Structure 1
Amino acid sequence: MNRLLSYYQKELNFLKQHGKIFASRYPKIARRLGIVEGETEDPHISRLIESFALLTSRIHQRLDDDMPELVNDLLAILAPQFIKPLPSICIVMVEPDPIHSGLTGKNTLATDTALFFRHSTPVPYQFQTVYPVTLLPIYLKDALLHYDRDALNWYLKLSFQVWSGATINNDTIRIYLNGPDNAVNTIYTFLCSEIKSLILNQEGKSSLLSPTDIKPVGFSKKESLLIKEPKISPVHNLLMDYFWFPQKFHFIDIQLPSDFCVKNNGLFEMKFIFHNNQLTESLGEITDLINSDFFRLHCTPAINLFPLRAEPFILEDSKAEYPVIPDTRHQSQLEVWSVQKVSVQRNINNSVQQFDIMPLLERHTDNSTDENPGLYWQSFRRENLMLKGLEKKQYIAFSEQPNREVSSAPEVVTINALCTNQYLPSKTQYFGNPDGDFDTDAPVASLKITALTHPTPPVEPASKNSVRWRFLSQLSLSHQLFNGDEGVKKLKEILTLYNFNNRSSNSHLVSLIQSLDYQPITARLISNDPHSLARGIDLIITFKHDAIKEPEYYMLCCLLDHLFALYAPVNSFTRLTTCIAHEDQTRRVWPIRAARISWL
């Protein structure tokens, strides 16, 4: 109401000012209306002006309020990540039973495996796995971080044991780093960038592995948290994941050699010997935190996002829009995150036929075929003021083609949606059950699935007032990252744009970016192939000296390396060099990364 009063006063002042101008130009007509110097002594004329000011103020306010709605429609096409809530997410560990699971070799739980929380009623909270989980019949017996006073270097030793009656071959071991952020980022940095040598000991035989056998996880398109939303570009997916849930990157893959084979209670160990440099001073501060609980096997992020068929409804001419209701019995525990597929059922010649309805904003051609129902749908999220507070619901509306045939029989609409359990998983206190937190329908017996991190609260989309700013920022930053002296400024802006949670550590690290330089280069995309010569961009990012104290420095550099590769021109590549000012030993030249698109 205060906003309406402000609009009303503006409109009333506008009418008075222009009434004064009108009276000076047309004094005779103004006198007939009782207007002198923009004022009138006639109470009826005065009330008429005030009433008109009230009407126009409401129209003005409505137009201003509709601007974010227009922007929302545009963002739904260009960047839907800005208008949807980010669901609750956590890290889960899958532990197969050595006796009852029947696991004697590698087995894989596919991406999107459904996990049902045990202690939620009447509707179990449902999560889905983000990464595939490779189940291996091994234990991690021990982990030791130690300083060798004879060799004068630090090393990390991981000891494994194969289950009784089982075999492990040249598989990939995925490890999740489970601990405080400071320790995780330090160990991650050393495992991915500071390995002097990697020794594999198996049953009395030692072999030397390459540091390149260790791969970071989470940077590929198929490992995105919101892979079910294809409209979000890989660039924005990568940035959003990093600022939303950085724990998804706390994984590493270790590739075992091709001739590796250990059976039946056999032992093997990996010894990671680290370089000596200024960074090794930080290892002494985290020694007590490094044990077998710090390195976890069979883990994956799990997101509170799952498919569900919404309640069907009948199309009516008298309705302009319909609420999308996932389940009439449990509406308070379910929320529609997005509409995936819409179809309509019609009774034609005593036969029920189903037709898919296309989204209105994705209509590219005139699909005037027999299978086209003549309808297009559009969904939107609306806030309703209820007695218990502000309620947000998904609605759907339909547009008709001019030549659409209207059926005399009722038309039933069915909707396949992706749903969440809102804030409920993050508010429960039951996570951390020793017998496991989740059940699953996966085809492996006796699995104990435990949440290693508590589910995060959902991240609500930006308010209407900031939606316009995000929209303009999105348009201005999407294709202007490399822009000479403005490069650092634009890079910081795009990183700040995705800092949803306003984490001070992220903001501080971004602020330490000092300069961004680039130059064209020519190099081979494949080092041993002379025919793979291409032109690319050599980028050099320099951080301020304070970045050397930041454990997350390497992780941010890793993000930037993959981020710039996604911006690479067609048939080209990027090569990133990162360093800290006045610290030559921190200079790192990252691998050449080819563009996502190549000429056929």
Structure 2
Amino acid sequence: MLESLLPYYERELGHLRELSGEFARRYPKIAGRLQLEGDQCEDPHTERLIEAFAFLTARVHKKLDDDYPEVATSFLDVMYPHYLQPMPAATVVQFECDAQRPEIGKRYRIERGQQVLAPAIQGVNCKFRSVYPVDLYPLQLQEARLELTSGSPYLRSLAPDAAAVLTLKLQTQGGVLLNAIDLQSLRFFLDGEPALMHLLYELLLSSVLRVQVGDGSEDPARTRMLAADSLQAVGFGADEGMLEYDERSFLGYRLLSEYFSYPDKFLFIDLLNLAPLVARLQGDTLLLRIQLRDYPDSERHHRLQSQLQPAHLKLGCTPLINLFTQPGEPIRVTHQKSSYPVLADARKQQAYEVVQIRRVVRVEKSGDGDSSEEVPPFYATRHGSGQAPRFYWHATREPSVRQGDRGTDMALHLVDLQFDAVRPAGEVLSLDLLCCNRDLPEQIPFGGSQATQRTDFQLPGHSVVKRVRLLRKPGASQRSPLGRAVQWRLISHLSLNYMSIVDSGREALQEMLTLYNLGDAAANVRQIQGIVGIRSEPAVQRVNGRHFSGFVRGTEITLTLDADYYVGGSVYLFASLLERFFALYCAPNSFTRLRVRTVQRDEEVAAWPARAGEALVI
């Protein structure tokens, strides 16, 4: 903030010196009393007055300029309340259970939203919350291998229509029998070289014929088949978000924010419907044979085949995000102020950043005791309900003025229904905040594969978990640009809302994606530029209900991508994101169906069934 004030100050000071020189030439006698000569002033007191006046007028000038972004910010608060909130640091951890504990003899669940503590940095333990629920089993992946059926007569006889088979061998720990652990599903995190893990992700979600489930014996009675759709992508559901979005925010925008900020969140795959099959198995071994329809003859596919190992498919993992609730410092309202800084911890301001004000409560003391009443936000839909409150609150967000701090600070303003400032003296405001630890998570030690107990996180209240291993180094928090950039982003958002991002060509789609590339990361920019073309045409899909059948109109979208722009990433994952986004973005009582082509192959490389919102059209 101070850096942005400096140009205004220098401009005002230069203007005053220029005017003082002209004043001295016109009125030399008066100027002599002030010791003004040209654009110089020999009197230090007069010089300080000029500098002080330049500083004050610079603040006024800057405030006038900032009024325009303030209006845009208010619009965003109402229509897109998520947009100006910081995107906190994120990471991925693995929970390792203690197989000797009696609770781990069967499924042990760690619910979504559990608080996880990082090692102390500058005397502060960064607080994270789990994004996905985690089911822990006394299971360990012992073997993972990928084989071509052409090189194995046994696999060819087992799956004559498969090109390759991914074999996963899991074994129980502590002498527990497989059919006693209540195994319902397995969630794998693909952890390894990004190019190979993205390839494995694509194979498991687009090329699977079926999954054979058994215990390694040759007895057909103890072998069952699962359909290909038992393997499901993770991270696209409304209950799988990293961020807290209210009902005003569109789910599709959340997916864009999370993908461009932390794509590793999506590198999870579920294997479902295991319970009835595993109940029939004996012993302590679970053998999964995932049969693949295609396995192209390429350098990347050969590397995946030769380098795949059990460490690449980890169990018991979840993303974490640096978000937590915390009561704010109480605000004592006085008649001297119209705005008040919002602080999570006044003693360690550099370690806490307010992401969202969840609730403001007015506490008033009287002879009959304390009374409290919730203060509604000004930008809300409560103005016509019941008795009008005495005042409302609204908040502004500004870049931090502290040296080297890339974060933001918030201020709370009290206004009446006409948006005039009010000063209800003698009251105390209690705040409920959603916070992050600014950029402190960047300093958390990370040991990678050589991680030690010193770098481990802690999971309070779960003694079953003996270790919380950090699998990814937490990155920096990302923030939307403030100031004048806000109004242009608002205009882009509003204009895109009244356009079809499909019918308007790739430029409209690229503009929408760019709005959510908050960090302006080069890799994300390149992926957005990799969209070569998009076209749509009307489509009709048959819908079968319990008591009726019918047809629904929708849109079939063909997306063309340049695979060279996704080196180190994944065409398939990027297209999966857009497939979900299109389905959420489409009109009610309609659907979208996406097909993807690449410039290099000039053929369809992926296709998804018709989807309306979050549901497939069947």
| TM-score class normalised by the smaller sequence | 0.7 to 0.9
Residues in 2 aligned to 1:511 and 1:335: alpha-carbon distance in whole angstroms: 33
Q: Give the secondary structure class of the aligned counterpart of 1:338.
A: strand
Q: Residues 58 and 267 from structure 1, CA distance in 2 versus in 1: closer, same or farther, beyond 3 angstroms?
A: closer
**Counterpart of 1:422 in structure 2: which amino acid?**
R
Cα pair 2:146 2:165 within 8 Å, conserved? yes
The aligned residue for residue 176 of structure 2 is 165
Cα pair 1:153 1:274 within 8 Å, conserved? yes
The aligned residue for residue 174 of structure 1 is 187
Q: Give the secondary structure class of the aligned counterpart of 2:311.
A: coil
Q: Which runs of 5+ in 1 are unaligned?
A: 16-38
Cα pair 1:183 1:289 within 8 Å, conserved? no
The alignment covers a number of residue pairs equal to: 567
Question: Given the alignment of the two structures, is residue 145 of structure 1 paired with residue 161 of structure 2, yes or no?
Answer: no
Q: Residues 207 and 399 from structure 1, CA distance in 2 versus in 1: closer, same or farther, beyond 3 angstroms?
A: same
For 1:558-573, what aligned pairs fall within 5 Å after superposition? 558-573=576-591
Question: Given the alignment of the two structures, is residue 193 of structure 1 paired with residue 196 of structure 2, yes or no?
Answer: no
**Counterpart of 1:295 in structure 2: which amino acid?**
L
The aligned residue for residue 414 of structure 1 is 430
Question: Given the alignment of the two structures, is residue 510 of structure 1 paired with residue 521 of structure 2, yes or no?
Answer: no
Q: Deviations over 1:74-114 (max 9, x none)?
A: 22222344422211110011111100262122222111101
Cα pair 1:169 1:259 within 8 Å, conserved? no
RMSD between aligned alpha carbons?
Answer: 3.7
Question: Given the alignment of the two structures, is residue 240 of structure 1 paired with residue 257 of structure 2, yes or no?
Answer: yes
**Counterpart of 2:520 in structure 1: which amino acid?**
N
Question: Given the alignment of the two structures, is residue 374 of structure 1 paired with residue 390 of structure 2, yes or no?
Answer: yes
Q: Deviations over 1:32-74 (max 9, x none)?
A: xxxxxxx998559x99xx99xx999986654223222222222
Residues in 1 aligned to 2:287 and 2:233: alpha-carbon distance in whole angstroms: 20
Residues in 1 aligned to 2:560 and 2:566: alpha-carbon distance in whole angstroms: 12
Which one of 459, 470, 478 corresponds to residue 478 of structure 2?
459
Cα pair 2:195 2:567 within 8 Å, conserved? no
For 1:208-287, what aligned pairs fall within 5 Å after superposition? 208-228=225-245, 230-261=247-278, 266-276=284-294, 278=296, 281-287=299-305
Cα pair 2:479 2:518 within 8 Å, conserved? no
Q: Which is worse superposed, 412-421 or 348-357?
A: 348-357
Question: Given the alignment of the two structures, is residue 334 of structure 1 paired with residue 344 of structure 2, yes or no?
Answer: no
Q: Deviations over 1:182-201 (max 9, x none)?
A: 01100000000012332222
Q: Which is worse superposed, 220-229 or 58-67?
A: 58-67
Question: Given the alignment of the two structures, is residue 127 of structure 1 paired with residue 140 of structure 2, yes or no?
Answer: no
Q: Which is worse superposed, 413-422 or 262-271?
A: 262-271
For 1:184-583, what aligned pairs fall within 5 Å after superposition? 184-202=197-215, 204=217, 205-228=222-245, 230-261=247-278, 266-276=284-294, 278=296, 281-348=299-366, 350-369=368-387, 373-383=389-399, 385-386=401-402, 392-400=408-416, 410-429=426-445, 433-435=451-453, 437-482=456-501, 484=503, 486-526=504-544, 530-544=548-562, 546=564, 552-581=570-599, 583=601
Residues in 1 aligned to 2:470 and 2:148: alpha-carbon distance in whole angstroms: 33
Once the two structures are TM-superposed, the CA of residue 271 in structure 1 deviates from its matched residue by: 1.3
Q: Residues 465 and 101 from structure 1, CA distance in 2 versus in 1: closer, same or farther, beyond 3 angstroms?
A: farther
Once the two structures are TM-superposed, the CA of residue 499 in structure 1 deviates from its matched residue by: 2.3
Q: Give the secondary structure class of the aligned counterpart of 1:282.
A: helix
Once the two structures are TM-superposed, the CA of residue 256 in structure 1 deviates from its matched residue by: 3.3
Residues in 1 aligned to 2:393 and 2:585: alpha-carbon distance in whole angstroms: 33
Residues in 2 aligned to 1:6 and 1:412: alpha-carbon distance in whole angstroms: 41
Residues in 1 aligned to 2:424 and 2:518: alpha-carbon distance in whole angstroms: 50
Cα pair 1:522 1:533 within 8 Å, conserved? yes
Once the two structures are TM-superposed, the CA of residue 594 in structure 1 deviates from its matched residue by: 1.5
**Counterpart of 1:180 in structure 2: which amino acid?**
E
Q: Deviations over 1:502-524 (max 9, x none)?
A: 34333333323222221222212
TM-score normalised per structure 2: 0.82
Q: Deviations over 1:314-359 (max 9, x none)?
A: 2212221111221233333222222111101223551322211111
Identity across aligned pairs (percent)? 24
Q: Deviations over 1:192-251 (max 9, x none)?
A: 001233222225222222111100001112211113555432121011111110000000
TM-score normalised per structure 1: 0.84
**Counterpart of 1:481 in structure 2: which amino acid?**
S
Q: Give the secondary structure class of the aligned counterpart of 2:144.
A: strand
Residues in 1 aligned to 2:268 and 2:338: alpha-carbon distance in whole angstroms: 48
Q: Residues 302 and 479 from structure 1, CA distance in 2 versus in 1: closer, same or farther, beyond 3 angstroms?
A: farther
Q: Give the secondary structure class of the aligned counterpart of 2:597.
A: strand
Q: Give the secondary structure class of the aligned counterpart of 1:361.
A: coil
The aligned residue for residue 102 of structure 1 is 103
**Counterpart of 1:353 in structure 2: which amino acid?**
S
Q: Which is worse superposed, 581-590 or 346-355?
A: 581-590
Q: Give the secondary structure class of the aligned counterpart of 2:458.
A: strand
Q: Residues 283 and 390 from structure 1, CA distance in 2 versus in 1: closer, same or farther, beyond 3 angstroms?
A: closer
